[in-house]
């Protein structure tokens, strides 16, 4: 199976695991995916993630987060910039996701960060995805 868009694969695996009410989901590791997981944890969308080096590309085990009534914290994930259509925004063009209820995750020269953080740092970059 060839994988042209590993970030879309990460988002799809998380989305499917949430629909199936799984506690964890395993994703092939890459530095960019680890950074996306770090931002998701900082923003409170996932409980935790662990990177294991064992099978050689490595795996990220993402621990999903649910509310006390069993509802998932993540309501939606959307890939914005695709390999076929890259989306770049300057710091003034980064918009709010769902009126501030969600976050956009950007790859900037200063690293992977949320849209809000990028506006504060006055940097633009590639809009990887939106989570709400």
Q: What is the pLDDT of residues 11-43, one digit of tens each?
A: 999 999 999 999 999 999 999 999 999 999 999
Confidence check: pLDDT of 121 > 70: yes
How sure is the predictor about 55, in pLDDT bands with cuts at 50, 70 and 90? confident
Confidence check: pLDDT of 103 > 80: yes
Would you state the pLDDT for residue 53?
Answer: 82
Lowest mean pLDDT segment, chosen from 47-56, 67-76, 111-120, 121-130: 47-56
Domains in the chain (CATH in brackets) are 6-64 (3.30.1370.30), 77-131 (3.30.1490.10)
> Model pTM?
0.93
Per-chain mean pLDDT for the chain: 94
HEC letters along the chain: CCCCCHHHHHHHHHHHHHHCCCCEEEEECCHHHHHHHHHHHHCCCEEEEEEECCCCCCEEEEEECECCCCCECCCCEEECCECCECCEECCCCCCCEHHHCEEEEEEECCEEEEHHHHHHHCCCEEEEEEEC
Would you state the pLDDT for residue 2?
Answer: 53
Would you state the pLDDT for residue 130?
Answer: 97
């Amino acid at each position: 199976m060839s994988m042209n868009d590993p970030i879309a694969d990460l988002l799809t695996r998380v989305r499917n695991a949430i629909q199936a009410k799984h506690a964890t989901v395993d994703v092939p590791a890459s530095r960019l995916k680890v950074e996306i997981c770090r931002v998701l944890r900082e923003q409170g969308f996932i409980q935790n993630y662990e990177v294991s080096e064992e099978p050689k590309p490595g795996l990220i085990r993402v621990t999903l987060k649910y509310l006390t009534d069993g509802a998932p914290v993540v309501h939606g994930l959307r890939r914005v910039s695709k390999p076929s259509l890259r989306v770049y925004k300057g710091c003034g063009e980064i918009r709010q996701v769902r009126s501030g209820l969600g976050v956009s995750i950007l790859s900037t020269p200063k690293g992977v960060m949320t849209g809000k953080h990028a506006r504060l740092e006055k940097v633009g970059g590639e809009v990887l995805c939106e989570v709400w």
